[in-house]
A and B are shown apart, each in its own frame.
Chain A
Amino acid sequence: MNLFSWGMYPKIKSNVFSLRDTESLCAYAEKTEEFIPYGNGRSYGDSALADNIVYTKPYNNFLAFDAQEGILECQAGVLLSEILDTLVKRGWFLKVTPGTKLITIGGAIASDVHGKNHHTEGCFSECIEEMTLMLPDGEIKSCKKGDALFHATCGGMGLTGVILSAKISLKKINSKHINQTTIKTKNLKETFEAFEKYKDMPYSVAWIDCLAKDEEIGKCLLMVGDFANDGDLEYKSKKKLTIPFTFPSFALNNLSVKAFNWLYYAKAPNGISKQKVDIDTFFYPLDAIGDWNKIYGSGGFTQYQFILPKESSFDGLKEILGKISASGKGSFLAVLKLYGKANDNYLSFPMEGYSLALDFKIETGLFELLDALDEVVVRHGGRIYLTKDVRVSRETFEQGYPLIETFRTFRKENNMDKKLQSLQSKRVCI
């Protein structure tokens, strides 16, 4: 069938095998030359694209829940949203969640996703007590933190096996609300100072205005927050708006310009303002708009996300924001965040420093611009996020991930490198 990921680029033809039980998966793995697992298709680029894919979403049963410890065991196709639908009202939330709840548990592990609390809680792998995979030779194996298989699989982009199930440790909450503080800054220096000032807040993220020029480069709205304590756990997932057709891209920029300006000038008139918002508004604002990826038109888009070590973040970001602003490409809004320390996983993206993410419509000249940005990222010791990527070169990728050889060797030694391949893994030769 026709297959693509969230960026709708590239679009390819794939043979799909739906995961329903381990017996048929074992037979499939034996007879299929090459394949890659595919969850809910929310990675942006070609990480989960290949001629043959194992569609894991139908494999989605809850297996056990320990209500004392807050540990859920479930199959890999369960969506984060299903966990929230079931457990928020009982006072549990994900320890780590990315900006969409529409991803599978398997995808969250394979991308070792992170969220607004990376600086305090780390990546998704932090909450995995144990997980089970099927290796490409059909063997079913469990692993936990400390095992090489665990550190290769978390962030391993599905290249170590098909994740079958996991035990996830959850966070106790006493409200579906978040007390949010919004801070307005005038330039990159003020933005960095604000991140440092509020680094003890569990959740933080900033929207950067990418059109700002000269002195105003790096002007942002920083949003920080923590769960309220009002005992109100009546969580109900919001109804989605849907976008029934693809948009011309100026529409998006106009919308986001309006949203940003409204917030910037109206909501935080004195520099700082406070709001009480719910889980969906705070963590998953874009999930409220069904297929927002269609907004970039049928040619698709990509998200460019990189991270720079803290010491070079200021200079690097200034240079990159300057280049983006001068190019006239890119979304008006970008997401900036200060991350905590890196973990021991071979290919996890986060490191201590600042990460910036922004969307680009796929068009002529774009990849040349991104290559030029790559050069700045590499020069400052940074790296690119594979989960968002569709075009990075092998050289750029390798320079950003010092443990790549460990990962390659692990794959070879365990006979994973032949069977498990995606378009992305072939491009960057993982």
Chain B
Amino acid sequence: MSYVLIIGAKSDIAKEVARIYAKNGYNLYLAARESASLEELKQDIALRSGVEVVLKEFDITAYETHESFYSSLEEKPLGAIVISGYMTEQKEAQKEWNKTLETINVNYTGAVSILNIIANDFEKERRGFIVGVSSVAGDRGRKANYIYGSAKAAFSAYLSGLRNRLYESGVQVLTVKPGFVHTKMTEHLDLPPKLTASPSEVAEDIFNAQQKGRNVLYTKPIWMVIMLIIKHIPEFLFKKMSI
């Protein structure tokens, strides 16, 4: 069976996405920094699903390595899923340029760098799917996390354009916009249970949406309604609000 490439394979969401694709028979390339720490997950997936799992060293901000990374994949993947994300405290990012830059580079520049390469290959082969995990935070900038949000907004716009370009080649592009998710990244936050998904729920939503050929996925689905409202608040009101 074909390979799926997971970029940013160390996150909680990635772990569950890997498991669900493996459960459905896909072999996996798991790409991350210090990929050796994924040995346990590799063993876990092999035991659960019996598929091939290949660990790949990958740094999303080492752009110059991306070409050689992709050409090192012996069998080219049928699908690529970019889950890499970096969220820092908004207040810290405001003060420290390095943190702002890291946020932009991981969430946007790096994702664009690797996806440009993958998109060219998929377009040529006229097959494949690309899944980009963006965020509801990209739907409108808020003072609470607009640096992260703006990087995700750029990524969403990129994916939208890519979908438009690759439509003719039959390559699917899915933009995923999770709301709150219980992960390492959000552990310290007091999240409202009804609006918060578990990593395995998000993974299941991603898998189902991708298999159905969908374009944009909000997970949980309620976030589509929430963001629709937030996007439509007039700017003269919105600028006074704290949400």
Contact of A62 with B44 in the complex, beta carbons under 8 Å: yes
C-alpha gap A363/B44 in the complex (Å): 45
Contact of B43 with A18 in the complex, beta carbons under 8 Å: no
Contact of A86 with B187 in the complex, beta carbons under 8 Å: no
Name A18-44 residues within 8 Å CB distance of B.
Answer: 18, 20
> How would residues 37 to 48 of chain B score, 1 for a CB under 8 Å from any chain A CB and 0 otherwise?
000110110011
Is the CB of B190 closer than 8 A to any CB of chain A?
yes
Contact of A58 with B47 in the complex, beta carbons under 8 Å: no
C-alpha gap A354/B40 in the complex (Å): 44
Closest-by-CB residue of A relative to B199 is: A58
Is the CB of B12 closer than 8 A to any CB of chain A?
yes
Q: How large is the interface on A (under 10, 10 to 19, 20 to 34, 35 or more residues)?
A: 10 to 19
Contact of A2 with B193 in the complex, beta carbons under 8 Å: yes
Contact of A18 with B184 in the complex, beta carbons under 8 Å: yes
Is the CB of A65 closer than 8 A to any CB of chain B?
yes
> How would residues 93 to 126 of chain B score, 1 for a CB under 8 Å from any chain A CB and 0 otherwise?
0000000000000000000000000000000000
C-alpha gap A136/B197 in the complex (Å): 31
C-alpha gap A64/B190 in the complex (Å): 36
Closest-by-CB residue of A relative to B198 is: A57
Contact of A58 with B41 in the complex, beta carbons under 8 Å: no
Rounded to whole Å, the gap between the CB of B74 and the closest CB of chain A is: 26
Could you tell me how many residues of chain B have their Cβ less than 8 Å away from some Cβ of chain A? 14
> How would residues 76 to 96 of chain A score, 1 for a CB under 8 Å from any chain B CB and 0 otherwise?
000000100110000000000
Contact of A1 with B47 in the complex, beta carbons under 8 Å: no
Name A55-72 residues within 8 Å CB distance of B.
Answer: 58, 61-65
Closest-by-CB residue of A relative to B48 is: A86
Contacts of A62 in B (CB 8 A): 43-44, 47-48
Contact of A61 with B184 in the complex, beta carbons under 8 Å: no
C-alpha gap A92/B23 in the complex (Å): 17
Contact of A63 among B12, B23, B43, B193 (CB under 8 A): B43
Closest-by-CB residue of A relative to B37 is: A21
Contact of B187 among A16, A63, A64 (CB under 8 A): A16
Contact of B41 with A61 in the complex, beta carbons under 8 Å: yes
Contact of A58 with B40 in the complex, beta carbons under 8 Å: no
Is the CB of B144 closer than 8 A to any CB of chain A?
no
C-alpha gap A110/B131 in the complex (Å): 40
Contacts of A82 in B (CB 8 A): 48
A-B pairs, 9 with minimum CB distance:
A61-B44, A62-B47, A62-B44, A86-B48, A61-B40, A65-B47, A1-B190, A62-B48, A18-B187
